[in-house]
Amino acid sequence: MKIVYIASGAANMFCGSCMHDNALAAGLKAAGEDVSLFPLYTPMRLDEENVGEKRIFYGGIKAYLMQKFPRPFAGRDLLLKVAGSQAIVRMLPRFDIGSAVDPAANAELTVSMLKGEEGNQRELLQELAGWIKSTYQPDVIHVTNALLIGVVRELKRALQTPITCGLHGEDIFLEGLPAAYRKEALAIIRERAREVDRFLAISAYYGEMFAEWVGLEREKIDVVYPGIALDDYRTLTPGTSGARSLTIGFFARLVPEKGLHLLVDAFIHLQRSGEFPNLRLLAGGYVSRAYKTYIDGIRRKIAEHKLEDRIKILGTLERADKLNFFQQIDVFSVPAPYREPKGISILEALAAGVPVVQPEHGAYPEWVNATRGGLLHRPHDSADLADKLAVLLRDAELRTQLGQQGRQGVFEKFSSETMASGTLDVFRKLIRPSVSV
C-alpha cells in the first residue's frame, strides 16, 4: 500500500504529536508499507530516527508572509522565494519560535489555512498536490489532525484518493483563538469534514469530545490508541531508589496546561508532612521563551520554600538523557489541568516500569485502566495529588507491582506496531479492492 502522511513540524520543540506521527510512520514502514511522511511548516524535532521526507512543504515563514502580504508588490515574489527556500526552512529548528504556536497571534493564518484552496496559501497547497500527484500516486492519504483539514478538498480533486484525518489535540489550539476566529474555524472544520473518509481519534475520550464539540459524524470516527517505539525500553532496567532518595518525575513541555505548578504544590504538601524527608522532584521538558513568566513563577515558589536542592528543572532532554531520567525516578506525574487526549510521556514512563499518578480526566483514565499502571487523582487538586503520590512513595511493593503491570500493558497495547496495525485496518477498508495489501 502506498501511503502519503501529512504531518506538521514544530521547529525546535519536542512535540508529542510529532513523536506520534514519526512512530506511526515508522511502524507502517516496518509493516512493509510504502510510506512518505511530509512535515509541513518546519522539520520535526525528534529524539528517535526521523523517517520523514527531507522536503518541507508550506514553509513556515513563506506561509506567514503570504498571509501578511496577500497582494502583489514590488519585490514580493523575491521575498517569498527566499522565505520558501529549503535552506531557510531547515534553519528554523535552531531558533526558539514559541510564538509560532500562539493561537491568538496566528488566528488569521489558522483560518486561512483551514480555507485551503480559498485561503492565502493556495499556491502552497497546489504545489503540494501537484508534487504528490506527479511523484507518488498514493492509495491513501493521512492528514495528522483537523487543523490541516484545509488540504483535503484540493488533494481529493487532484488525486481521487481516500483521505483520513487524525484527531489528537486540536482543541487546545482552537480554544486559544479569539472567539470570532474560533467560531469561524470550527464552522470550516465541520463543513470540510464531509470530505474526509475516516477520522482516527487517538482515544475514545477525544473522539467523543471532538465530535460533539465540532459536530462531526460519530460513525466516521475510529479509535486507534497511540503507540511508542519500544526498542530502547526492551532492555531498560527499571531503576530502584536503593541508596538514592525517593524521586518524583515530570516530563512534558513546561507550559501551564501540563501542570508542573500543581506538581510543585503537591511536592510542598509532601515536604511539609515530614514523612518523606529527602524527597526529590526532577522536571524535564522543552522550555520556550514564550512561557518564561510561567517558569519564573515556579522557580520563585521553589526558592521561597527553600527547595532549590530538592526540585530540579532539567529542561530539554535528548533520548539518552530521557531514558536515564526514567531510571532515576520512582513515580511519575504530569497533572495536566487540560483534558489531555494522548499524553505520550505517560506511556514512556510506564514502558520504563515507572508507575504514574494522573488526573482523572481526558485520556488518562483510559491509559491507567488499560495498563493498570498507576493511580488517578482529582483534577486541579494538588492536595489529592499529594495524597495519591504518598500512597506510592510509602509502598515499594505497590510501586513495583504497578510498574510491572504498566510496562506489560504498554508493550501489549501501546506499541508502534499495534498502532500501525490498527491504522492499517482503517486504511484497508477504504482503498480500492484492486490494490494489493
Q: Poorest-confidence range of 278-282, 342-346, 432-436? A: 432-436
Cα–Cα distance, 250 to 248 (Å, whole number): 7
Does 315 share its domain with 189? no
> Each residue of 125-176: pLDDT tens digit?
998 999 999 988 899 999 999 999 999 999 999 999 999 999 988 898 899 9
- Residue 287 confidence (pLDDT): 83
pTM here? 0.88
CB 211, CB 327: distance < 8 Å: no
CB 143, CB 154: distance < 8 Å: no
160: left (phi over 0), alpha (psi -120 to 50) or beta: left
Does 6 share its domain with 149? yes
Cα–Cα distance, 154 to 156 (Å, whole number): 5
437 domain-assigned: no
Q: Poorest-confidence range of 340-349, 410-419, 426-435? A: 426-435
* C-alpha cell, 143: 492528514
Mean pLDDT, residues 105-120: 92
Mean pLDDT, residues 305-330: 93
Does 175 share its domain with 254? no
- Residue 291 confidence (pLDDT): 87
> Each residue of 69-93: pLDDT tens digit?
888 777 777 777 776 666 666 655 5
Neighbouring CB atoms inside 10 A of 264's CB total: 22
> Please, what is the average pLDDT of the chain?
89
Domain at 151, CATH number: 3.40.50.2000
Q: Residues near 436 by Cβ (< 8 Å), separated by ≥ 6? A: none
Does 235 share its domain with 320? yes
Environment class of 224 (CB within 10 Å of its CB; exposed 0-12, middle 13-18, buried 19+): buried
Does 129 share its domain with 179? yes
Does 118 share its domain with 171? yes
The answer, yes or no, to whether residue 377 has pLDDT greater than 50, is: yes
Does 187 share its domain with 244? no
Higher pLDDT, 81 or 218: 218
- Residue 99 confidence (pLDDT): 44
Cα–Cα distance, 396 to 240 (Å, whole number): 9
- Residue 362 confidence (pLDDT): 94
The answer, yes or no, to whether residue 98 has pLDDT greater than 80, is: no
Closest CA to 245 of 353, 352, 329: 329
Q: Poorest-confidence range of 143-147, 260-264, 287-291, 402-406? A: 287-291
- Residue 418 confidence (pLDDT): 96
* C-alpha cell, 374: 498507576
Crossing angle for the helix pair 16-30 and 416-430, nearest 10 degrees?
A: 70
335 domain-assigned: yes
Does 269 share its domain with 196? no
CB 23, CB 39: distance < 8 Å: no
How much of the chain, in percent, has pLDDT values that exceed 90? 67
Residue labelled with grid coordinates 526540585? 311
What is the phi/psi pair of residue 255, to 5°?
-135, 160
The answer, yes or no, to whether residue 298 has pLDDT greater than 50, is: yes
Domain count, the chain: 2
190 domain-assigned: yes
The one-letter amino acid code at 12 reads N
Does 286 share its domain with 390? yes
What is the phi/psi pair of residue 165, to 5°?
-140, 130
Mean pLDDT, residues 290-318: 93
Does 175 share its domain with 130? yes
How much of the chain, in percent, has pLDDT values that exceed 70? 90
Higher pLDDT, 43 or 110: 110
Does 66 share its domain with 104? yes
Closest CA to 364 of 389, 339, 386, 383: 339
436 domain-assigned: no
435 domain-assigned: no
116 domain-assigned: yes
Does 425 share its domain with 292? no
**Containing structural domain, residue 104:** 2-227+417-430
Q: Poorest-confidence range of 230-234, 285-289, 360-364? A: 285-289
